[in-house]
Amino acid sequence: MDWQRRYQLRNQVEASLWIVPVLAGFAAVLCHRLVWAFDLWTRWRLFHYSLDGARSIVGAISASMLTFIVFLMSMILIALQVAVGQLTPRIIAFAFSNPKVKWTLAMFTFTYMFSFSAQGRIDDPVPQLVVLTTLLLTLASTGVFLYFIDFMGKSMRPVSICEKLGGHCFAAIEEMYPAALADRAGTAPPADPGAAARTITHPGPAGVILSFDAQGLVELAARQDCLIQVVPQVGDFLPSGEPLFRILRGGAGLDAAELRRKVALGPERTIHQDVGFVLRIMVDIAIKALSPAINDPTTAIACLDHLQMLLRRLGERDLGEGRLKDREGNVRVLYAAPSWEDYLRLAVCEIRQCGGNSIQVVRRLRVLLDTLLEQLPELRAGELRAQLDLLDAAVARNFPDAGDRDLGLAGDYKGIGGRRLA
């Protein structure tokens, strides 16, 4: 199995809600046979269920578990519908890939299939251990259901979503940018690679660039002694027929099909190699909260809290120059990658534009920029100062009253009511 198929399979397993419950259903049938065999072997007799009583209990449990599954799915879909309307549609994929949602459905499916399998085989002598196991599974499912209600109600809050997204983003940053920022002042910019000797297009259906096999591309380029440029950036939409690779040097015998298998496409962006997608989701939540229809600047403040943490981590990392080298130190792959300026503008520009007339938002934005200016190296300061100038202009434009303008020019960790001692 090549890299592309492995990646797509892993992505499908992570994003699918049905795989774990279906496997749990098969496991329940197997487990029922094992418990039944153990019951016949031991002739277990603790509660002495009668034949009619056992059939009534197991039949009622089987019917109720099916009702539970339908109710649980309805609850999930309703909660998602409300969250999508208030936050952003891009949280749907994260909700369906949540392990707690999958394992809750798996627990209900396991109990249903176990009771359903037992219902058709209850006869004299009554399988006492099978009936008891069905009851215990029902009690466990009830506890899981109560826990899931509490979890679902809390997990759809903006703060919970930002916290979970932040955790995913920190892991992606560690993977994509493992090196700390070095003082690169005076480092020569990359040399111009020249014109493309060959262009390889994407012949298949359109999709979003999810990821590419960096190590595989380097090995392929080293084997063919060539320089490969990945044209689209991770997260870009790629129509059919558009350039996917450019061969800038060598590579006369390079197989285009093998090269295309080093890139994975899909219908929607993911965060595996796309750190900016997490920032995009948080910004979408913030600007929707700042819309006149919702008018909830406090949610935007919560998003800015997490955006500040992510920006600091990004600012402390060497974001690279879009070049991959082989073991001998030769540049083999060029790719487009977001810069520090791109990440910072993504995180603050739209929030400033949509919340520029909110004292709460502009004060929290100022703290974000001032704090990053103090914490990060001078190499990151240029764009931070530029964003502070734009924020000053927004305050001057949106607050004609001197008193409001003075408030807007001060920083506040809570927006209003959270200034710290100097």
Kindly state whether residue 399 falls inside one of the protein's structural domains. no
Please write the tens of the pLDDT for every residue from 360-411: 999 999 999 999 999 999 999 999 999 999 999 999 999 999 999 999 999 9
CA distance 295 to 293: 6
323: confidence class by pLDDT, cuts 50, 70, 90: confident
193: confidence class by pLDDT, cuts 50, 70, 90: low
CA dihedral 315, 244, 189, 378 (to 10 degrees): -10
Residue 231 CB partners (closer than 8 Å, separation 6+): 242, 243, 244, 245, 246, 336
Asked if the bond preceding 125 is cis, omega within 30° of 0, the reply is yes
Question: C-alpha distances in angstroms, 167 versus 5, 172, 182?
Answer: 27, 9, 25
Look at 96-100, 186-190, 339-343 and tell me which has the smallest mean pLDDT: 186-190
Instruction: Please write down the long-range contacts of 36-40, taking CB distance under 8 Å and 24 or more positions apart.
Output: 36/118, 36/121, 36/127, 36/130, 38/129, 39/127, 39/128, 39/129, 39/130, 40/127
Residue 346 CB partners (closer than 8 Å, separation 6+): 276, 279, 280, 283, 338
Rounded mean pLDDT of the chain?
A: 88
123: confidence class by pLDDT, cuts 50, 70, 90: confident
Judged by DSSP in three states, 212 sits in: strand
Kindly state whether residue 35 falls inside one of the protein's structural domains. yes
Write down the pLDDT at residue 186.
Answer: 45
CA distance 47 to 284: 58
Question: Given CA atoms 31, 37, 43, 49 in this order, what sign does their dihedral have?
Answer: positive
Q: How many domains does the chain have?
A: 1
Kindly state whether residue 216 falls inside one of the protein's structural domains. no
Kindly state whether residue 80 falls inside one of the protein's structural domains. yes
Percent of the chain at pLDDT exceeding 90: 49
Q: Are 146 and 290 in contact (CB under 8 A)?
A: no
| Tokens found for residue 12 | 């499908």
E strand or H helix that includes residue 393: helix 381-398
Kindly state whether residue 176 falls inside one of the protein's structural domains. no
Domain span at 75: 3-156
Kindly state whether residue 126 falls inside one of the protein's structural domains. yes
Kindly state whether residue 110 falls inside one of the protein's structural domains. yes
Write down the pLDDT at residue 207.
Answer: 94
227-230 and 331-335: which strand pairing?
parallel
Instruction: Please write down the long-range contacts of 67-71, taking CB distance under 8 Å and 24 or more positions apart.
Output: 68/108, 68/112, 68/141, 68/145, 69/105, 69/108, 69/109, 69/112
Q: pTM of the full predicted structure?
A: 0.85
Kindly state whether residue 345 falls inside one of the protein's structural domains. no
